[in-house]
């Protein structure tokens, strides 16, 4: 019976007729500061249940680490009580992601959709072909802006909902090649060269799809904020058990006052330039989530007017571990 109870994924606490706990399952042991808060709630709920009162506490946030818990008390027919502790942390996280997604997409699409409506109304009132052509071009730009926002929001939500990255051996050279391929057209339009310092880097551990997305977003940002005809460089370095992927540009740079906020959703250093380049303000948020999912980090060094260097740190692969994608 004890083995069966230990295998139950919810926390169970059995109490005697006085409401005093006599058995805990492993899932009921929270640990850390949360143990004190849960213990206080358990005492009152078990005491009430031992008296025959059925009740529950609304979900509570305890930690660290942060957890959302719900505790229910159940009176037992033969005397005593049972407390059931449900860990709702993951459910709460997913609900928050969904809520943020709806709020963000509603807010961000309001501007381009509203602009398209105004432009369409203006076209309907004009007979001048040149004016109509100019307004139609603006409509196309706003439509592309809305489409880019939707794509980035879907990508960010997919990465957030996906949790930790897959643990596969990844060919970083292929990741860089795919990221460069995604960005090449935008770079060519402005005469910007993307240079890869090491085309045969060491292998990493992670999720190739997420890593391509992160590196492509760093390259896209570097291209958008570089001067026409400039150069963007990708370099790779091994640091102990880590691999650093650095994307450097010689563009406009980032003011020091904005460095702490650039990884927030929809935060834009220069909103006017973002409108011109089609930036959604989600690219760096995607990069941060990918870094977190891989147990790594993303760092930035920048000086206004001199350019920026973004470094994505990811786990290195064990040299003895064969790659699953070499063939």
Query: Given a cut of 80, is residue 213 above it in pLDDT?
Result: yes
CA dist 171 and 117 (Å) reads 46
- Dig out the tokens for 10 from the structure: 């919810």
CA dist 83 and 218 (Å) reads 49
Mean pLDDT over all residues of the chain? 81
For position 325, what pLDDT does the model report? 37
Classify the C-alpha dihedral 115-116-122-125 as positive or negative. Answer: negative
Q: List residues bridging with 67 in a β-sheet.
A: 62
Residue 154: closest CA among 282, 39, 14, 299: 282
Q: Helix and strand tally (H, E) in the chain?
A: 8, 12
pTM of the model: 0.59
Residue 40: closest CA among 83, 86, 87: 83
DSSP-derived 3-state class of residue 234: strand
pLDDT digits (tens, 9 = 90+) for 241-287: 999 999 999 988 888 888 888 887 777 666 544 555 555 677 888 89
> Which of 94-103, 175-184, 192-201 tops mean pLDDT?
175-184
Give me the helix-helix angle, 283-293 and 208-224, nearest 10°.
150
For position 63, what pLDDT does the model report? 62
- Tell me the CA distances in angstroms from 40 to 20, 263, 279, one per residue in order: 12, 38, 49
Buried b (16+ CB within 10 A) or exposed e, 247-278: bbbbbbbbeeeeeeebbebbebbeeeebeeee
Specify the range with the lowest mean pLDDT, choosing from 8-12, 48-52, 66-70, 114-118.
Answer: 66-70
Percentage of the residues of the chain whose pLDDT score is greater than 90? 23
| DSSP structural state of residue 316 | B
Q: Where are the alpha helices (DSSP H) in the chain?
A: 2-7, 34-50, 89-124, 129-162, 172-189, 208-224, 271-277, 283-293
CA dist 249 and 308 (Å) reads 6
Contact residues for 94 (Cβ-Cβ < 8 A; gap 6+) = 161
pLDDT band at 35 (very low <50, low <70, confident <90, very high): low
pLDDT band at 323 (very low <50, low <70, confident <90, very high): very low
For position 165, what pLDDT does the model report? 60
Classify the C-alpha dihedral 174-175-178-184 as positive or negative. Answer: negative
Query: Given a cut of 50, is residue 65 above it in pLDDT?
Result: yes
Q: What is the mean pLDDT of residues 183-189?
A: 90
CA dist 311 and 237 (Å) reads 10
pLDDT digits (tens, 9 = 90+) for 228-252: 999 999 999 988 899 999 999 998 8
Is the preceding peptide bond at 64 cis, omega within 30 degrees of 0?
A: yes
For position 270, what pLDDT does the model report? 62
Query: Given a cut of 80, is residue 208 above it in pLDDT?
Result: yes
Neighbours of 39 (CB within 10 A): 12
Neighbours of 148 (CB within 10 A): 16
Residue 232: closest CA among 244, 218, 212, 213: 218
- Tell me the CA distances in angstroms from 162 to 10, 89, 230, one per residue in order: 23, 15, 36
DSSP-derived 3-state class of residue 270: coil
């Amino acid at each position: 019976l004890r083995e069966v109870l230990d295998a139950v994924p919810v926390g169970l606490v059995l109490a005697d007729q006085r409401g005093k706990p006599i058995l805990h399952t492993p899932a009921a042991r929270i640990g850390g500061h949360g143990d004190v808060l849960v213990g206080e709630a358990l005492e009152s709920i078990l005491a009430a249940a031992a008296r025959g009162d059925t009740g529950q506490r609304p979900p509570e946030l305890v930690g660290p680490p942060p957890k959302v818990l719900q505790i229910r008390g159940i009176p037992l027919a033969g005397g005593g009580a049972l407390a059931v502790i449900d860990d709702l942390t993951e459910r709460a996280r997913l609900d928050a992601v969904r809520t943020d997604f709806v709020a963000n997409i509603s807010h961000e699409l309001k501007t381009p959709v509203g602009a398209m409506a105004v432009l369409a109304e203006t076209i309907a009132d004009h007979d001048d072909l040149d004016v109509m052509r100019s307004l139609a071009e603006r409509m196309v730009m706003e439509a592309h802006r809305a489409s880019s926002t939707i794509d980035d929001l879907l990508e960010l939500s997919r990465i957030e909902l996906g949790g930790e990255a897959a643990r596969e051996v990844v060919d970083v050279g292929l990741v860089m090649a795919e990221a460069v391929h995604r960005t090449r057209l935008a770079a060519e339009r402005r005469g910007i060269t993307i240079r890869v310092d090491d085309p045969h880097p060491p292998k990493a551990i992670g999720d190739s799809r997420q890593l391509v997305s992160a590196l492509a977003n760093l390259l896209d940002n570097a291209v958008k904020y570089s001067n026409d005809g400039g150069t963007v460089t990708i370099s790779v370095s091994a640091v102990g058990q880590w691999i650093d992927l650095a994307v450097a540009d010689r563009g406009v740079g980032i003011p020091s006052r904005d460095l702490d906020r650039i990884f927030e959703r929809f935060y834009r250093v220069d909103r006017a330039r973002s409108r011109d380049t089609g930036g959604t303000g989600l690219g760096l948020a995607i990069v941060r989530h990918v870094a977190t999912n891989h147990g790594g980090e993303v760092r930035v060094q920048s000086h206004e007017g001199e350019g920026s260097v973004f470094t994505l740190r990811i786990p290195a692969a064990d040299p003895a571990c064969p790659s699953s994608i070499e063939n």
